[in-house]
């Protein structure tokens, strides 16, 4: 017999390390042709950080995204980054990139100001131009200013940025502290179909809502939400790294024996809802959501299974064997 159930789970997730520190650095170099080189130490592991960090640099400089090249080839040439973990890169390195780009832009404004008969503070930049904020018709090409600075005025257009959250001391009497850069929130609804004869669980629908602060690149955010949803589904129903823990017996050694979801396992209905509740200190309000997307599927799926067949499973993955044993126990 096949029975359906619906489950809901909610989560909160911090960005960055607790207690302070958590350093990211960046520097931006503007070339004579107006292109910019962005140097970071953060590693893109598929989440799209090189894209969003380049977007931030381009936005601050007022140039097209395509004019920015990102460099993070190795620790010999890259500035410091504490690492790609704790969902911190967009937030921490993003703050460093914004600061570096603004410093480089300020040098360009100093160069452009005499030509525009304005003070550097009165200038702005967008669409490849530097212009007077209150009189946009008075403008000069970004490339012309970059060329003028590098070649004729012998200025290096280099900006530096650093993000390191101040240490949060603990109150010795109450234990109160402020350990996290910012906090993000999530909720997920899951609909499942449970076969009580075989113990198989099929996820039919997933609706995921995530507070991302500010969505720098909405398409990448949706990709992270969907990818995390499928990853969390795999952990909930399939992935069992140590099936005979604590002994290594039967431990998978490759992807032939370590089962993960494939295209045929993805729910037919998936919906990603982006909620923007800006962080007060994140770049463009951004928060980190990378890891949180994989946290909510398991409790939502387990809750949906309970709704369908009335048993709670307290160990994942919820394999057919575990589910059938739980059903047998409930009937006995």
Q: Which residues are catalytic?
A: 291
- Residue 151 is encoded by which pair of tokens? 């070649």
Report the alpha-carbon distance of residue 32 to residue 51 in Å, rounded. Answer: 23
Q: How far apart are CA 284 and CA 201, in angstroms?
A: 41
Q: What six digits make up the tokens of 78?
A: 């890259």
Distance CA 211, CA 276 (A): 6
Sheet holding 21-30, edge to edge: 68-71, 36-40, 21-30, 157-165
Please give the helix or strand (H or E) that residue 22 lies within, else none: strand 21-30
Cβ contact 104:160 at 8 Å: no
Q: How far apart are the first and last CA of the chain?
A: 18
Close Cβ partners of 152 (under 8 Å, ≥ 6 residues apart): none
| Residues 189, 186: Cα–Cα separation, whole Å | 10
Beta bridge partners of 169: none
Contact 15, 297 (CB under 8 A): no
Sequence-separated contacts (24+) of 131-140 with Cβ below 8 Å: 140/112, 140/115, 140/116
Rounded CA Rg of the chain: 25
Distance of alpha carbon 103 from alpha carbon 31, whole angstroms? 15
The answer to whether the beta carbons of residues 190 and 182 sit under 8 Å apart is no
């Amino acid at each position: 017999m096949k029975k359906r159930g619906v489950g809901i789970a909610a989560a909160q997730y911090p960005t960055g390390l607790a207690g302070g520190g958590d350093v990211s650095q960046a520097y931006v170099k503007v070339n004579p042709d107006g292109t910019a080189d962005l140097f970071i130490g953060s590693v893109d592991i598929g989440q799209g950080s090189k894209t969003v960090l380049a977007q931030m640099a381009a936005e601050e400089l007022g140039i097209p995204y395509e004019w920015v090249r990102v460099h993070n080839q190795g620790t010999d040439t890259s500035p410091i980054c504490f690492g790609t973990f704790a969902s911190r890169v967009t937030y921490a390195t993003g703050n460093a990139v914004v600061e570096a780009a603004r410093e480089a832009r300020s040098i360009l404004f100093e160069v452009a100001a005499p030509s525009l008969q304005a003070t550097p503070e009165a200038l702005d930049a967008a669409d490849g131009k530097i212009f007077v904020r209150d009189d946009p018709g008075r403008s000069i090409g970004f490339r012309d200013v970059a060329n003028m600075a590098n070649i004729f005025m012998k200025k290096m257009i280099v900006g530096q940025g650093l993000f390191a959250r101040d240490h949060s001391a603990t109150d010795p009497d109450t234990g109160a502290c402020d350990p996290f850069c910012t906090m993000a929130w999530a909720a997920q609804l899951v609909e499942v179909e449970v076969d009580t004869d075989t113990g198989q669980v099929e996820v039919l629908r997933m609706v995921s809502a995530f507070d991302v602060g500010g969505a720098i690149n909405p398409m990448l955010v949706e990709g992270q939400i969907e990818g995390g949803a499928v990853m969390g589904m795999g952990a909930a129903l399939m992935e069992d790294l140590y099936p005979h823990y604590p002994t290594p017996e039967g431990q998978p050694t490759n992807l032939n024996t370590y089962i993960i979801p494939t295209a045929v396992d993805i729910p037919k209905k998936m919906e990603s809802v982006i909620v923007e509740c800006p962080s007060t200190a994140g770049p463009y309000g951004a928060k980190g959501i990378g890891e949180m997307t994989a946290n909510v599927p398991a409790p939502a799926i387990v809750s949906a299974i309970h709704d369908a067949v009335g048993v709670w499973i307290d160990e994942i993955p919820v394999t057919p064997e575990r589910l059938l044993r739980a059903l047998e126990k409930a009937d006995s």
